[in-house]
Amino acid sequence: MDFENLIYEEKDKVAFITLNRPAKMNALSMALSDEIIAAVDHVQESKRLKFLVFKGAGNNFCVGDDITEMPKWGDANEIMRRARHYQTMANKIEELDKITIAAVDGYAVGGGLEITMACDFVIATERSKWGMPEVDVGITPGWGGTTRMSRLIGRRRAKEINLLGALHSGKKAVEWNLWNRLVPNDQLDNEVEKLLEVLRSKNQQGMRQLKFIINRGVECDLYTAQGFEALSAGLTGAVSGMWKVKDADQGKGIIGFGRKDGLWQTRRGLAKDFWVD
């Protein structure tokens, strides 16, 4: 795929999206954001790709939205529409049925930090910095800086990050469960490859299910989350060969509908007028 503001590559079932505006510290212009969505959609549609890695060109991951473009966003309604557009971008990343990795070097602030929070894994260099400085521009985050952050590090710390606007070390991001791992400045790519090697060895269907139930379960009550776990266990058994349940149709109901056979006629005959008065 050809892009002007990012570099898209595929290698060994891994897609790499490199934000490519190094002169602007990979700030998220409107054009770059649209290209990210297009690239993520392409990854989602692929049955061959299993992993997605986000990187930044130069010595920075991403410094967030391109503030110089904000006057182009329009009136209050159009600003809200743009924020929802970016929320869709983050949701698409989070909802991918691929495992996602953010490889962070340098600054990951504002929208750049919001991208990392939508990924499954975050590996960062020791020199990396992060924060949500929107408060000092007189704006508020629009696609994860308050919502996902509160779920990851808690309400009180999310207030500290957003209300003060300070920039913090990568070490603190790991300590606060915002990121996974810090590596020496020259070892980022190597550590990503090591993680990919481990992930490639796994049952890919199992990882897809785990990602789904963890993402869904954290947003609901315990019993509902346990329901996802139980259904996932059943699906794991089915795709591992133990799919035949003695009192299940095993496809006969669907086949019967198409053929309008005796099973279909019996069931509908008993049900269609039952207790309808």
> Rg of the chain over CA atoms, in angstroms?
23
The predicted structure's pLDDT at residue 132: 97
Point out the residues of the chain with pLDDT beneath 70.
none
Q: Cα(72)–Cα(171) distance, rounded to whole angstroms?
A: 36
| Pick from 156, 60, 159, 78: nearest CA to 116 | 60
* Longest CA span, the chain: 75
Report the relative pairing of strands 6-11 and 14-19 from DSSP bridges: antiparallel
Torsion of CA 21, 140, 103, 47, to 10 degrees: -90
Question: With b meaning 16 or more CB within 10 Å and e meaning fewer, what string describes 159-177?
Answer: eebbeeeeebebebbbebe
Q: 243: helix, coil or strand?
A: coil
Q: What is the pLDDT of residue 127?
A: 98
Other CB atoms within 10 A of residue 198 CB: 8
Element (H, E) at 99: strand 99-104
Helix intervals (H) in the chain: 30-45, 76-95, 111-117, 147-153, 155-164, 170-175, 188-200, 204-217, 222-239, 252-259, 262-271
Report the C-alpha gap between 168 and 174 in whole angstroms.
11
In this structure, how many other beta carbons lie within 10 angstroms of the beta carbon of residue 244? 8
pTM for this prediction: 0.92
Find out whether 121 and 196 touch, Cβ atoms under 8 Å.
no
Nearest to 129 by CA among 171, 176, 192, 187: 171
DSSP state of 62: B
Residue among 65, 169, 58 nearest 124 (CA): 169
From the centroid of its chain, how far is CA 82? 19
Q: Measure the CA dihedral 139/118/126/175, to 10°.
A: 90
- The whole-number pLDDT of residue 222 equals 93
Q: Which tens digits make up the pLDDT trace of 163-218?
A: 999 999 999 999 999 999 999 999 999 999 999 999 999 999 999 999 999 999 99
Express each pLDDT in 206-233 by its tens digit. Answer: 999 999 999 999 999 999 999 989 999 9
Residue positions annotated with a catalytic role: 114, 134
pLDDT at 2: 87
Q: What is the pLDDT of residue 1?
A: 75
Which phi and psi angles does 129 have, rounded to 5°? -135, 150
